[in-house]
Structure 1
Amino acid sequence: MLQNICVVLVNVSHPGNIGSVARAMKNMGLTRLVLVEPRAFPHNEANIRASGANDILEKAKIVATLENALVSCNLVFGTSARHRRISWPLLGLRQCGTKVVEEAASGTQIALVFGREDSGLTNKELQQCHYHVHIPSNPKFSSLNLGAAVQVVSCEVRIAWLIAQDQSSKLEKNEVASTKNSELATVDELERFYKHLEQTLVAIKFLKPEKPRYLMARLRCLYGRSSVSRTEINILRGILTETQKVVDSASRKRKD
């Protein structure tokens, strides 16, 4: 189950924090680490701070963008403490741990995404996440070290995992649901759908690029919480393709 979960770090500035994260992951039984454009890695400071979790650093995957990091993932949890205009599905730590374990148990590929030490994740990056996760720290001193943040979230995941081991009946239900959940659309498939959707909405003049009014962000939120399957994505993209054909045909007739 835990092998279906990866930790994604975006633009880490200090290599020591990568080592701290690796140690926190190994403490909680997580092994898959993905680094999005780290400023300095590999680095000796990361090895020192890993303190025995160097195997995780050695197997860490390095990519250029968050979109690349989420290829083949089905469900993405992004940590954020900032207020945003658009309401997004928000989970507390205990809810996050339970949700991650329930989904991972049925084969769903999970990503836990953590942002930059100084500024976290951008709004655009947060929109690539299905859920946002809030760590209820002291509001008067809410800033957490990156390694500590990963430790807290991964600890909740492990607690939920340990509870799940004692609930055999719940595991059996997850096995029945595994076929359906394994067919969920991946993040990269959803991204291609969103681009196709945006192009079509512009073509039918429902979306005005000069005045988008958060339309695509709201649609991302809608589809992101719907657990869209690959079959459903193909149906939706088929509808978009036929819509574009009608628009193109009408455009040619006007020109004639």
Structure 2
Amino acid sequence: MLTEPQRERINVVLVSPRNPLNIGAVARAMANFGFTRMRVVNPYEPHWREARSAVGAPELLKGAQETASLAEAIRDCSLVLGTGTLTHRKAEQPVVPLDKLAPLVTESLGRGERIALVFGSEKHGLTREDLSYCHVLVEIPTDAQQPSMNLGQAAAVCLYDLATRSGPSITGSGIAEDRLDPASKTANASKPSPTSDNLDILSSLIEEVMVAAKYSPHTMQGANRHDLRLILRRMNLNAADSRRALGLFRRILRRLRIPQS
């Protein structure tokens, strides 16, 4: 079982939820398994904190953070877990079955990192843009005849798995090893990972370099930005390497901006 300090480092993030009753159901599931950190991104209803379905968790709802964007909600997290099924999407990041998630979470908690478990709206789940901020897509196994789950139920299933299968007792091979190549795994196993905000800063700087170098037309900048977010998260940089990369691209940008005689 996860300890209380470990559960405090796991944030449940709801992106554009539409129904306050579903938000309350998620809060109740969080309380059932000892999680307290909720972040709500751009909720559809302004009075979502008053959901009567949050039985046993009204204080959790009152203390939840509301943000205008997913980037803001996950800025301090070093492992961002998107959730969903593969029924109507082609994943652009590693896919982790829910029952194989524990080693990856345990490894991240062992480095003292914050984790975000992200759920999309009831209408369409996480968008392609949302998922570009995620290190992995956690696949919740469901029957092909009814692949989508109620938001509260999906949260309960995931939180039960995290609470009971992650922690110091989890050992052996698993997705934590599969996510990295052997050399990268050895180098990064005990080193802290950059936060999502750190990666976004690096991504923005690389984009500036690309613009200064006239890498691609203006119409491609949105696609480049999306691809950069994905690439940096798939690279599994440690925090020190992300700082080195930041310094490298700053020097390149300065040189590009020096007027040519």
Q: How is 1:1-256 mapped onto 2 (pairs within 5 angstroms)?
A: 1-43=6-48, 46=51, 48-82=52-86, 83-84=88-89, 87-161=92-166, 164=167, 166=169, 180-181=190-191, 183-211=192-220, 214-249=223-258, 252-253=259-260, 256=261
AA partner of residue 68 (structure 2): A
Following TM superposition, by how much is the alpha carbon of 1:205 offset from its aligned partner in structure 2, in angstroms? 3.1
Following TM superposition, by how much is the alpha carbon of 1:44 offset from its aligned partner in structure 2, in angstroms? 7.2
Corresponding residue SS for 1:210:
helix
Percent sequence identity is 32
Separation in structure 1 between the aligned mates of residue 67 and residue 137 of structure 2, nearest angstrom: 22
Conserved 8 A contact 2:135-2:233: yes
Q: 1:158-207: CA deviations, max 9, x gaps? A: 1213xx455699xxxxxxx99944x4211111111111111212322334
Separation in structure 2 between the aligned mates of residue 144 and residue 86 of structure 1, nearest angstrom: 19
Following TM superposition, by how much is the alpha carbon of 1:85 offset from its aligned partner in structure 2, in angstroms? 5.4
Label 1:235 to 1:29 Cα distance change in 2 as closer, same or farther (>3 A): same
Bigger radius of gyration? 1
Following TM superposition, by how much is the alpha carbon of 1:116 offset from its aligned partner in structure 2, in angstroms? 0.6
Unpaired stretches in structure 1, ≥5 consecutive residues: 170-176
AA partner of residue 153 (structure 1): C
TM-score when normalising by structure 2: 0.82
AA partner of residue 160 (structure 1): R
Conserved 8 A contact 1:101-1:157: no
Separation in structure 1 between the aligned mates of residue 49 and residue 213 of structure 2, nearest angstrom: 54
Separation in structure 2 between the aligned mates of residue 185 and residue 240 of structure 1, nearest angstrom: 17
Label 1:212 to 1:105 Cα distance change in 2 as closer, same or farther (>3 A): same
Label 1:94 to 1:215 Cα distance change in 2 as closer, same or farther (>3 A): same
Following TM superposition, by how much is the alpha carbon of 1:126 offset from its aligned partner in structure 2, in angstroms? 0.7
CA RMSD of aligned residues (A): 2.7
AA partner of residue 105 (structure 2): V
TM-score when normalising by structure 1: 0.84
What is aligned with 1:173? none
AA partner of residue 158 (structure 1): A
Aligned residues: 242
Following TM superposition, by how much is the alpha carbon of 1:52 offset from its aligned partner in structure 2, in angstroms? 0.9
Label 1:219 to 1:14 Cα distance change in 2 as closer, same or farther (>3 A): same
Following TM superposition, by how much is the alpha carbon of 1:220 offset from its aligned partner in structure 2, in angstroms? 2.9
Label 1:204 to 1:165 Cα distance change in 2 as closer, same or farther (>3 A): closer
AA partner of residue 109 (structure 2): A
Following TM superposition, by how much is the alpha carbon of 1:45 offset from its aligned partner in structure 2, in angstroms? 5.7
Separation in structure 2 between the aligned mates of residue 79 and residue 110 of structure 1, nearest angstrom: 13
Corresponding residue SS for 1:154:
helix
Conserved 8 A contact 1:77-1:113: yes
Label 1:195 to 1:120 Cα distance change in 2 as closer, same or farther (>3 A): same
Label 1:71 to 1:219 Cα distance change in 2 as closer, same or farther (>3 A): closer
Following TM superposition, by how much is the alpha carbon of 1:214 offset from its aligned partner in structure 2, in angstroms? 4.8
Separation in structure 2 between the aligned mates of residue 200 and residue 178 of structure 1, nearest angstrom: 27
Separation in structure 2 between the aligned mates of residue 111 and residue 16 of structure 1, nearest angstrom: 22
Following TM superposition, by how much is the alpha carbon of 1:14 offset from its aligned partner in structure 2, in angstroms? 0.6
Following TM superposition, by how much is the alpha carbon of 1:230 offset from its aligned partner in structure 2, in angstroms? 2.9
Q: 1:113-158: CA deviations, max 9, x gaps? A: 0011011112111101111111111111112100011011111101
Unpaired stretches in structure 2, ≥5 consecutive residues: 1-5, 173-186
Separation in structure 1 between the aligned mates of residue 212 and residue 168 of structure 2, nearest angstrom: 51
Separation in structure 2 between the aligned mates of residue 5 and residue 39 of structure 1, nearest angstrom: 24
